[in-house]
Amino acid sequence: MQKRKIGSNGLEVSAIGLGCMGLTFGYGPATDKADAIKLIRAAFERGVTLFDSAEAYGQVNEEMVGEAVQPFREQIVIATKFGFKDGNPAAGLDSRPERIRQVAEESLKRLRTDCIDLFYQHRVDPNVPMEDVAGAVRDLITEGKVKYFGMCEAGVDAIRRAHAVQPLSALQSEYSMFTREPELEIIPTLEALGIGFIPFSPLGKGFLTGKIDAGTTFSSGDVRNNLPRFADGAREANHHLVALIGEIAQRKQATPAQIALAWLLAQKPWIAPIPGTTKLHRLKENVGGATVQLTAEDLRELGEVLAKVPVQGERYNAQMMKTINR
> Which structural domains are found in the chain, ordered by start?
3-203+267-291 (3.20.20.100)
Q: Is-above-0.85 flag for pTM?
A: yes
Q: What is the rounded (10 degree) CA torsion for 88, 11, 109, 135?
A: -60
Residues 313 and 304: beta-carbon distance below 8 Å:
no
Strand 11-14 and strand 3-6: the pairing is antiparallel
| Residue-wise pLDDT tens digits, 103-148 | 999 999 999 999 999 999 999 999 999 999 999 999 999 999 999 9
Q: Sheet containing 146-152: which strands, arranged edge to edge? A: 18-19, 50-52, 77-82, 116-121, 146-152, 168-174, 196-200
**pLDDT recorded at residue 320:** 74
| Active-site residue, selected from the candidate residues 27, 57, 175, 316 | 57
206-243 core/surface letters (b: 16 or more CB in 10 A; e: else): bbbbbebeeeeebeeebbbeebebbeeebbebbeebbe
57 is catalytic: yes
86 residue type, one letter:
D
DSSP 8-state assignment for residue 271: B
- 144: nearest Cα among 122, 126, 165, 119: 119
Query: H or E segment at 278?
Result: none
Residues 321 and 314: beta-carbon distance below 8 Å:
yes
Tell me how far CA of residue 95 lies from CA of 85, 86, 92, 126, 129, in angstroms: 8, 11, 10, 9, 9
Residue 32's contacts (CB-CB under 8 Å, 6 or more residues apart) are none
Instruction: For the chain, state the CA radius of gyration.
Output: 19
**pLDDT recorded at residue 221:** 79
Tell me how far CA of residue 103 lies from CA of 96, 169, 319, in angstroms: 11, 20, 25
Residue 318's contacts (CB-CB under 8 Å, 6 or more residues apart) are none
Neighbours of 21 (CB within 10 A): 20
| Residue-wise pLDDT tens digits, 72-95 | 999 999 999 999 999 999 999 999
Handedness of CA 288, 289, 295, 297 (dihedral sign): positive
CA 167 to chain centre: 20
Q: How far apart are CA 107 and CA 115, in angstroms?
A: 10
- 64: nearest Cα among 38, 29, 83, 28: 38
- 20: nearest Cα among 53, 45, 50, 43: 53
The stretches in the chain having pLDDT less than 50 are none
- Name the packing angle between helices 97-110 and 130-142 (round to 10°): 40
Q: At residue 261, what are phi and psi to the nearest 5 degrees?
A: -75, -40
- Pinpoint the alpha helices (H) of the chain: 33-45, 59-68, 97-110, 130-142, 156-165, 186-193, 232-251, 256-267, 280-288, 296-308, 318-321
